Amino acid sequence: MKKLSSLSKLLLITFLFYLIIVGIIASRYDFNLSCFINFGERSSLITKKLVPQNFVIMENTSGYDGQAYYYAASDPFIRTDFHRIDLKKYHRFLYPFLAHIFAFGKKNLLPYSLLIINILAILIGTLFLCFLLKKRGLSVWYGLIYSLGVGNIVAFQYNLTTPLFLCLILIGIYFYETKKIGSTAFFFSLALLTRETAVLIILVFLVYEFFKKRYSNSLVITLSLIPFIILQIFIYQRLGKIPILGSSGHLVLPFAGILQKINNLDLQGGIKHILRETSIIPYFCYVMLVLAVSVKKLLKNRNVYNWNLFIQVFISIFLCFPIWEEFAAITRTTFAIFPFMILSYAKDRDKLSKYLFIGAGLLTIAAIIRILFISPTQPYYLS
At 292, is the pLDDT very low, low, confident or very high (cuts 50, 70, 90)? very high
Is the pLDDT assigned to residue 23 strictly greater than 80? yes
CA atoms within 13 A on the CB side of 18: 30
pLDDT at 76: 86
Stretch 309-334: mean pLDDT? 95
Counting runs of H as helices and runs of E as strands, what totals does the chain give?
Answer: 19, 3
**49 vs 4, more confident:** 4
pLDDT tens, position by position, 117-171: 999 999 999 999 999 999 999 999 999 999 999 999 999 999 999 999 999 999 9
pLDDT at res. 268: 84
Q: Which long-range contacts (CB under 8 A, 24 or more apart) does 170-178 make?
A: 170/125, 170/128, 170/129, 170/132, 170/339, 171/124, 171/125, 171/128, 173/128, 173/132, 173/343, 174/128, 174/131, 174/132, 176/205, 177/132, 177/135
From 316, 186, 185, select the one nearest 261 (Cα to Cα). Answer: 316
Q: In 3-state terms, what secondary structure has residue 88?
A: coil
User: pLDDT grade, residue 114 (50/70/90)?
Assistant: very high
Element housing 182 (H / E): helix 181-194
What residues pair up with 153 in beta bridges, in sequence order?
none
Tell me how far apart the alpha carbons of residues 264 and 257 are, in angstroms, rounded to a whole number: 11
Q: Quote the pLDDT of residue 81.
A: 57
Q: How far apart are CA 168 and CA 174, in angstroms?
A: 10
- pTM of the prediction? 0.95
Q: Do 154 and 332 contact (CB within 8 A), yes or no?
A: yes
Q: Is the pLDDT of residue 318 over 70?
A: yes
Surface-to-core class of residue 312, CB atoms within 10 Å of its CB (0-12 exposed, 13-18 middle, 19+ buried): buried
**Per-residue pLDDT at 46 exceeds 70:** no
Edge-to-edge strands, sheet with 56-58: 39-40, 56-58, 380-382
Is the separation of the CB atoms in 343 and 337 below 8 Å? no
d(CA 56, CA 381): 6
Residue that wins the pLDDT comparison between 83 and 344: 344
Please check the confidence at residue 206 and state whether its pLDDT lies above 90. Answer: yes
Give the amino acid at 369. I
Specify the pLDDT at position 32.
Answer: 96
The answer on pLDDT for 79 being more than 90 is no
More confident residue, 273 or 370: 370
291 CB neighbour count, 10 Å cutoff: 18
